[in-house]
Amino acid sequence: MTIPEHVQPVVQPSPLQALLEKLPPHPSHEPALQSLAVQIQHNLQYQHSWSQLCVHTHSPLTNKPLPRPLVSGLPPHRLYIHPDEQIELLKAADRERKTREEGDAAPLEVKAEPELEWILPTRLSEKWTLRRVADVFDAITPVPPRDDATDATKDDLPNPWRTTKRVVLATVDTDSTVVYYIVQDGVVKPRQN
């Protein structure tokens, strides 16, 4: 028995599906890689409250196509604090504590401002080699370029502790679960816990 057309339910596409359907084709990358980047951008914006998100298709260094589309954005809090910066933040908080009046019980905040990050969208089924990761690092700058539309001033100084390139590896499974890992270029001093 078939259901008459006027009785069949209308299925609306999900917000992500609607976004992907509007995505114009890009000549330098496969549509599957473009849609993966948009999926990660959507996940970061609506599930993790990132801002200033942008999909990049060309290297900020050479203006040649990237090995695959990358996303950049600003997380709501700092993802990684260099061990030496962590020590300096603790020392500054201790100095502030010592200068407070004796009755001041306000908690000290040891906080580092968030930084723009590169995000490398991948699928769990992909096979990654050190060469493929190195190709991505070779094509990017240590910090993603700021969008002119942001409220950042030209006087913003880069973080002096950020001396190596890093990406947030965003790995998507077949059930759309996303797992994020920080991958740094080269040998990095371990953090103190």
The DSSP-derived string for 90-156 is HHHHHHHHHHS-TT--PPP--------EEEEEEETT----HHHHHHHHHHS-SSPPPPTTSS--TTP
Domain ranges for the chain, please list them: 32-81+115-184
Handedness of CA 121, 186, 163, 95 (dihedral sign): positive
- Summarised one tens digit per residue, pLDDT across range 25-35 is 666 778 889 99
Q: Give me the tens of pLDDT residue by residue for the chain, a chain 193 residues long.
A: 676 766 666 677 666 666 656 656 666 778 889 999 999 999 999 999 999 999 999 999 999 999 999 999 999 999 988 888 888 888 888 888 788 777 677 777 778 889 999 999 999 999 999 999 999 999 999 999 986 544 444 445 578 888 889 999 999 999 989 999 999 998 876 766 6
| Rounded distance between C-alpha atoms, residue 94 and residue 108, angstroms | 9
Taking only the tens place, the pLDDT of each residue in 35-52 is 999 999 999 999 999 999
Q: State the distance between the two ends of the chain, measured CA to CA, in whole angstroms.
A: 65
**How far apart (Å, rounded) are the C-alpha atoms in residues 177 and 6?**
36
Residue 159 has what pLDDT? Answer: 84
Which pLDDT score, from 0 to 100, does residue 3 have? 66
- Computed on alpha carbons and rounded to an integer, the radius of gyration of the chain in Å comes to 21
Residue 3 burial by Cβ neighbours in a 10 Å radius (0-12, 13-18, 19+): exposed
How far, in Å, are 44, 76, 160, 184, 193 from residue 51 at the CA level?
Answer: 8, 8, 23, 22, 29
- Each residue's pLDDT tens digit, 137-147: 999 999 999 86
Domain 32-81+115-184 in CATH 3.40.50.12160? The answer is: no
pLDDT number for residue 21: 63
